[in-house]
Structure 1
Amino acid sequence: MRQVLASWRPGQAMVAIPVALIMLISVVDILTPNYVHLGPLLVVAPALTASFGGPVMTGAIGVLAVVAQVVIAFLHGGIGTMNHQVQIITLLVVSAFVVAFCYLRERHERQLSEVRSVSEVAQRVILRPLPPRIGPLRIASMYLAAAAEARIGGDLYAAARTVGGTRLIIGDVRGKGLASVSDAAVLLCAFREASHRHSSLPGLAKHLEDSVCRNLAELSEADSDVAECFVTAAIIEIPDTEPVVHVVDCGHPPPLLVRGDRILTLGPELPGTPLGLGELAAADHLPATFAFEAGDILLLYTDGIVEGRDRTGTFYALTERLRRWAGEDPVTLVALLQKDLLDHVGGHLEDDAAAIAIERLPAGPVR
């Protein structure tokens, strides 16, 4: 019995509606005088079935409607009359069109499902999910792509466990949507590889700058617009045993620190130079150091969040919203941020948006 109920689909129950309509229209048409023709209304049955059923179910209802039309014609003077022949042919043609529409819609849905599956796989490969715990840190993240049906875009983030600490990056490739995924992938791969080979944050930032420039130089040969591309990024390092965080700003919105009911901005007075500008880039990416104590939550984010607008054009006030959620853990904070942001923009972002919430846990065994 359970297997039967598990295999029962809502569409199979709803098919009773068009069947009942066919029976009702047929009975009323048979009982009314010959000059009253309700048979053309039978086309409603296959049209209604197409809203919830596939081409096979729609075709079956269409055949049933044609059979009903034939019965009505036979009881109202015979199939040989011109009026009934036209009604039967018309019903056949319309039902065929509806079945064809159902088939095309179902094929499109399958293709869209395949695209979504590929997009989800690409996200897991390029933008790997961050673990909920890294060393003495508890982490939660969110990613919202602006492109319709996309799972990834030009925003990026990653984390790497190093000897004695954790390094993270959050960035934003110029532009939005799928066109910037390639540049994001290059930077993420470079970060994951170089995080373990460079002992200093400036050295890591210089390596990332060189990687982005090489990639843009190769792409610019095929597309001249690529020459204008760049990547903003915030690269941070959190030592396991010191209550501090080191931040290298590469033209990215500065991190926010939630400490009790206070919101602190962690960044230089002037933002650094984005990655990928070549000779215009800063010679040295000097890190800034800030206190990051147990119980603090560090929020890294991209400008897609603070540039989100509501219907009146008002930007999303991230700092004010964070004050409302003081005391929440990273998972809850990120969930509240995502819901509140989508409510603010009416459910659709104009740019990709990403955020990472990081909490330093009290001293204990380091994982």
Structure 2
Amino acid sequence: MEYGRRRRLLRVRGHSVAWVPPLLLLAGILVLDFNTTERFRIITWIVLVPGTAAAICGVWTTAAFAGLAVLTYVTADSAWPDQYQAGLGDFVLVAIGGLMATIACAVRLRKERETLHIQDIAETTRRTVLRPLPPRWGGLEHAGVYLAADVEARVGGDFYDIQPGPHGTRLLVGDVQGKGLGAVETAAALLGTFREAGYHEKELGTVAERLEVRMQRHRAHTTALGRDDGDRFATAVLIGFPEDTPDTVEIVNFGHEAPLAVGPRGVRELPSGDGLPLGLVDLAGGVPPGHRVPLAADETLLLVTDGVSEARDRKGAFYPLAREIAAAVAAEPPAAEPRRLVRRVRDGVLRHSGGRLDDDTTVFAVRRIREAVGEDGEEGRLRS
């Protein structure tokens, strides 16, 4: 956030030094005025002092600089002979400039407080929708990062969650079409259903059906309210980690980016979005088919939203996710660990796009927790 960065730059050892730039400017104008000829009087430039203070200081500090500027102007101008004095007109300019700078400072601080309040609301909303997860949860080690395209809002339509239950641990990652509070509301509705169905339902396909029903109900509700987002949909990938088969995972993909399995042997793409997104499933006659695919103990699942796959550089080239990850893991196998993998993708996307995100971006990596290596040197069984 620009405001936060500016505040940090204007503090030294915890103390504000915002008053230093306007004070140096005042001193510089005063020195120059006394060291130039009568043909180049710059004392009127002192009106810039309260203007500068208004941009970086508080109201009382700005008011103090406004008064100091007027006092300095009168003192400096009076030191010149009458025929060289700037006169009453410039005095009025400095006085009015100081008053306007003080008012502008008050308006700026009010806007900054409003912005901080909005950001606090957005952060609370984000933590409600994307609830914090323990680093090791439901037998899974995971890491995730969410970057909103609107940096000030810090919240959008991407969502993810892990839900452990009696039928194994389930994972959901998705992206609601569109932006704004409507997208956040839709994501919250889907996550609420996932947290209940993912815990209670035995079959992953039933969880997928419950998600589609919830999406349809949500769309009907928003339409009944007269809102224009009743045709909203969401891509998503639903993954189950069965307890009885620790070397496989179940996947139902609603038109989402294909998950990647990342391990020492390279990067491979798991089943892609062969179904329609949530909210459009009725057009295909039912939810997408589920796939049971192998996942080795040393492989990490990498899931991203289209903020990653559609990130472009200045020449319009897409971010080469699979290629970069494959090269990184080949050079350094520990790079497949969830936390390191997420950090590498995040940094790679920001570097590739020059820090300009056109869409909300989520990177999520997860793998089963492995027990510590025993005395016999063999790795213990997976904990689910």
Structure 2 portions without partners, runs of 5+: 1-11, 371-379
How far 1:8 moved relative to its partner?
2.3
How far 1:178 moved relative to its partner?
3.9
Please list the CA deviations of residues 119-138 of structure 1 after superposition, one character each: whole Å capped at 9, or x if unmatched: 11111111112321124321
Identify which of 42, 49, 53 aligns with 1:49. 53
2:213 matched residue in structure 1: 210
1:336 matched residue in structure 2: 344
Supply the AA of the counterpart residue of 2:25. P
State yes or no: 1:98 paired with 2:101.
yes
Partner Cα distance (1:177, 1:353) in 2: 15
Partner Cα distance (1:359, 1:193) in 2: 22
Q: Is the 8 A contact 2:236 2:254 kept in 1?
A: yes
TM-score (norm 2): 0.85
How far 1:271 moved relative to its partner?
0.9
2:41 matched residue in structure 1: 37
How far 1:324 moved relative to its partner?
2.4
1:355 matched residue in structure 2: 363
Please list the CA deviations of residues 124-161 of structure 1 after superposition, one character each: whole Å capped at 9, or x if unmatched: 11111232112432100011111241222111111101
2:252 matched residue in structure 1: 248
Q: Is the 8 A contact 1:43 1:65 kept in 2?
A: yes
Compare 208-217 and 82-91 and name the one that shifted more.
Answer: 82-91
2:238 matched residue in structure 1: 235
Q: Is the 8 A contact 1:306 1:315 kept in 2?
A: yes
Partner Cα distance (1:135, 1:230) in 2: 29
State yes or no: 1:140 paired with 2:143.
yes
Specify which structure has the bigger relative contact order, considering alpha-carbon pairs within 8 angstroms and separated by 6 or more residues.
1
State yes or no: 1:277 paired with 2:280.
yes
Please list the CA deviations of residues 20-71 of structure 1 after superposition, one character each: whole Å capped at 9, or x if unmatched: 2354256447xx55x7633212223223333432222122112111112222
| 1:186 to 1:76, Cα distance in 2 relative to 1, 3 A | same
1:299 matched residue in structure 2: 302
Compare 185-194 and 12-21 and name the one that shifted more.
Answer: 12-21
Q: Is the 8 A contact 2:176 2:235 kept in 1?
A: yes
| 1:354 to 1:282, Cα distance in 2 relative to 1, 3 A | farther
Q: Is the 8 A contact 1:274 1:281 kept in 2?
A: no
Identify which of 183, 186, 189 aligns with 2:186. 183
Partner Cα distance (1:42, 1:361) in 2: 66
| 1:282 to 1:266, Cα distance in 2 relative to 1, 3 A | farther
| 1:349 to 1:6, Cα distance in 2 relative to 1, 3 A | closer
3-state SS of paired residue (1:125): helix
3-state SS of paired residue (1:162): coil
Q: Is the 8 A contact 1:39 1:87 kept in 2?
A: no
Supply the AA of the counterpart residue of 2:354. G
Q: Percent identity?
A: 32
Supply the AA of the counterpart residue of 1:150. A
Partner Cα distance (2:302, 2:92) in 1: 66
| 1:25 to 1:61, Cα distance in 2 relative to 1, 3 A | farther
Q: Show the 5 A alignment for 1:257-276.
A: 257-267=261-271, 271-276=274-279
Structure 1 portions without partners, runs of 5+: none
Count of residues in correspondence between the two structures: 358
1:346 matched residue in structure 2: 354
Q: Is the 8 A contact 1:144 1:151 kept in 2?
A: yes
Q: Is the 8 A contact 1:139 1:331 kept in 2?
A: yes
Partner Cα distance (1:325, 1:160) in 2: 30
Q: Is the 8 A contact 2:247 2:297 kept in 1?
A: yes
Q: Is the 8 A contact 2:346 2:363 kept in 1?
A: no
2:3 matched residue in structure 1: none
| 1:193 to 1:84, Cα distance in 2 relative to 1, 3 A | same
2:24 matched residue in structure 1: 17
Partner Cα distance (1:365, 1:245) in 2: 13
How far 1:305 moved relative to its partner?
0.9
Compare 172-181 and 227-236 and name the one that shifted more.
Answer: 172-181
How far 1:194 moved relative to its partner?
1.4
Supply the AA of the counterpart residue of 1:18. L
Q: Is the 8 A contact 2:138 2:162 kept in 1?
A: no
Partner Cα distance (2:278, 2:170) in 1: 18
Partner Cα distance (1:128, 1:151) in 2: 14
1:8 matched residue in structure 2: 15
Compare 10-19 and 295-304 and name the one that shifted more.
Answer: 10-19
TM-score (norm 1): 0.89
Partner Cα distance (2:153, 2:111) in 1: 16
CA RMSD in angstroms comes to 2.5
Q: Is the 8 A contact 1:273 1:282 kept in 2?
A: no
Q: Is the 8 A contact 2:248 2:292 kept in 1?
A: yes
Q: Show the 5 A alignment for 1:148-159.
A: 148-159=151-162
Identify which of 57, 67, 84 aligns with 1:63. 67
| 1:210 to 1:156, Cα distance in 2 relative to 1, 3 A | same
How far 1:190 moved relative to its partner?
0.9
